[in-house]
Structure 1
């Protein structure tokens, strides 16, 4: 940026958009995103989540999945699904065993760590549940400002952790990626371009009263990550390693990529990366009421809280404009039924899924490289196919 001086005043001419302003767009554009979504540690600063010494192999019990699903008045195969929805990794567990696994992505494989985007929100929720059981966080009724005093005087001042967990804070605009000055685009530019991420979140406006209505918000999840760090005195990666990753028997270290500006911070709403098999282990944990190998890792009541909400504004079909009508929401997870035994899923932009059906004892991980962040039609087709697989095994 050039500057000119006139007397004692410094004039800053309008700045041309730089590479850093557009980095997010470049990372997410096809066909580059098939590579970037498996190599985020080459592009951004990172903090690793070591797996520790405990390894619990997932048994292999492969079986053909020659089933079809019905969509758009057509019978389609899983090969059609992968082609039509740009699948890069696909893992299916039944009764804790890998029954189907494929990696259509050009750069994907069993050891590839996948960029999970907003599945990270579901991971953050699991960590919040653990911190509550640990006593590091007192209650979901606590306010944000009980842990982050710098949010006094902002629209988040009156919000509770429960409001953030259910995306009912009432703060922030609609999360749209194709509007250059939307809140989420300014957040992305700050994260990747070295801006002040905290200030972007602090400046979000209030749209409705807390607890009143659903509005999907990465800002809400980001604050939850910051609350977790303040409450535990650990970085998000450090706490995740100690209280979660060391217990699930992971194949590989995971990692969070961090903001470019210092002090660097993980994006609790979107920067977690792990192998598809290890993501499946997280789903298995949620399918088994938070238990791994006889150990209660995530509290049972927290897992049940994540499977559905009694709040009418969070029920399936009632989310409004920021949620598709085949979803409800609860505790940073998307729900697909009213019962705690119904399927639920973590979701990430560009087609990332952690689908859990406790009744069928099925977990499905689907990583993708969609050309756009959101796509209602591809999402609906994917959920139709995943439910068909679960029904097949049930």
Structure 2
């Protein structure tokens, strides 16, 4: 197992145009590797090596826009800590770190404690410069951009903004009467089937629209959906609604989401590397629910930004109260509580619930886990064999075991 701390290259190479790939094919060392198709990704039909090479070359699957980094990365200094004894018990069986990395096909795992690198490893030929598929971690990025747009006064109605006022292609559809808050909670009341491996599901219909690369194709899929409940009353996980959110935020900020993300966060917070983001069509709007390709360290920095309250150099980028609402279980109109915030998953294990932890989570094992009570951020890249249902060890259970292990070493995990 290759496991060591890496120090970022603090040089300032010239940055590419946002309309071009972040590195030339000869510079990005993974660029000539074989890639599968997006249908194989969502169908769970990639052999392990092809899955790995595909997930680190996703900008070759669709037109993509660059999220430009700045010149000086935020340091992630290493600290020394004994992690022997980090073991999770699942169904009476102990699993240590080596089990976890192998069984989930983890390709990168980075643990930050108080902003310092407690543990960092890369597998399957990945390294700090490897860009990796976000899967639905992009949803949490997209929702955070919505919060920034509200803070900037670009969505003056705030969470009460009506979706169709910003996305006119949905006027007259089941999205009439749906608010931005409903959308962020995925409680629009519009029918949706998210089954990734079912070619007839709504999720695969949306994917076919993306493959077709026709402007407006995704909104045509969403506009045709029927109503199943009143807005705000039923939570139903829908990748399509993140594409609506991308359209809404794009209309509000009047610029590409990749550029807005670069200007608001990627550069001022000190992300180390350029990232890429899929487009619905060539030159069009970013895919709100997936398609960011970024380095493990920059995913961890995004988690650290959230841990620090959504601030850059002490200046808040998000509205007052946003962090508390976005990262806590939401309450539907009938009083039901759902373990989901504003496109963030709230903790689903008792120890993490106690710590008010939350996570950005994507299929095939992608995670950014944030535990405010213990000042811990964990970023994980993986190539699990199926979109869902093949992860032997629940990552949050394993992360809880890490917190418990650190708690046994006085002063190591508490935020003080």
Residues 79 and 116, structure 2, Cα contact 8 Å, conserved in 1:
yes
- Distance, in Å, in 2 between the alignment partners of 1:298 and 1:30 is 41
1:24 aligns to 2:38 (yes or no)? yes
Q: Which residue of 2 aligns with 1:116?
A: 134
Question: 2:267 is matched with which residue: 230, 246, 257?
Answer: 246
Q: Which deviates further from its counterpart, 192-201 or 338-347?
A: 338-347
Structure 1, gaps ≥5 residues long = 1-21, 320-327
Residue equivalent to 1:378:
391
Q: TM-score, normalised by structure 1?
A: 0.86
| Equivalent residues of 1:129, 1:299 under 8 A apart | yes
Contact 1:85–1:382 (CA under 8 A) maintained in structure 2: no
Match of 2:298 in 1: 278
Q: Distance in 1 between matches of 2:309 and 2:354?
A: 11
Task: Tell me the equivalent position of 1:9.
Answer: none
Aligned-pair CA distance for 1:274: 1.0
Q: CA deviation at 1:110?
A: 0.8
Write out aligned runs for 1:218-237 (5 A).
218-237=239-258
Assess, with a 3 A threshold, how the Cα gap between structure 1 residues 114 and 300 changes in structure 2: closer, same or farther: farther
- In 1, distance between residues paired with 2:164 and 2:80? 50
Matched, 1:145 2:145: no
- In 1, distance between residues paired with 2:154 and 2:306? 22
Say whether 1:166 aligns with 2:179. Answer: no
- Helix, strand or coil at the partner of 2:135: coil
Instruction: Provide the residue aligned with 2:10 in structure 1.
Output: none
Which of 340, 346, 358 is matched with 2:360 structurally?
346
2-side partners of 1:74 and 1:357: how far apart?
Answer: 25
Q: Show the 5 A alignment for 1:58-69.
A: 58-66=76-84, 67-69=86-88
Give the equivalent residue in structure 1 for 2:344: 333
Deviation at 1:247, TM superposition (A): 1.8
- TM-score, with length taken from structure 2: 0.82
Measure the CA separation in 1 of the matches of 2:171 and 2:354: 36
Answer whether contact 1:345 1:354 (CA < 8 A) is retained. yes
Match of 1:255, SS state, is: strand
Shift of 1:77: 0.4
Q: What is the DSSP-based 3-state SS (H/G/I as helix, E as strand, rest coil) of the residue aligned with 2:109?
A: strand
Alignment of 1:311-326 (within 5 A): 311=331, 319=338
1:349, distance to aligned residue in structure 2 (A)? 0.8
Q: Which residue of the partner structure matches residue 308 of structure 1? A: 328
Distance 2:400 2:301 in 1: 19
User: 1:222 touches 1:269 (CA, 8 Å); kept in 2?
Assistant: yes
Are 1:389 and 2:407 counterparts? no
Distance 1:315 1:53, change over 3 A: farther
Residues 351 and 379, structure 1, Cα contact 8 Å, conserved in 2? no
Match of 2:312 in 1: 292
Provide closer, same or farther for how the CA distance between residues 262 and 199 of structure 1 changes in structure 2, counting only shifts above 3 A: farther
- 1:185 offset after TM fit, Å? 0.5
Q: CA deviation at 1:276?
A: 0.8
For 1:24-73, what per-residue CA distance to the aligned partner results, in whole angstroms no more than 9, with x for missing partners?
23345232111111111223211001112342111111434221111121
Deviation at 1:109, TM superposition (A): 1.2
Deviation for aligned residue 1:292: 3.4
1:100-155 Cα shifts (integer Å, max 9, x gaps): 00112x24211111110111010011111111010001211111012112211111
Residue 129 of structure 1 is matched in structure 2 by 147
Give the Cα separation in 2 of the matches to 1:41 and 1:193.
16
Task: Report if the CA contact (8 A) 2:278-2:290 is conserved.
Answer: no
Q: Does 1:256 align with 2:277?
A: yes
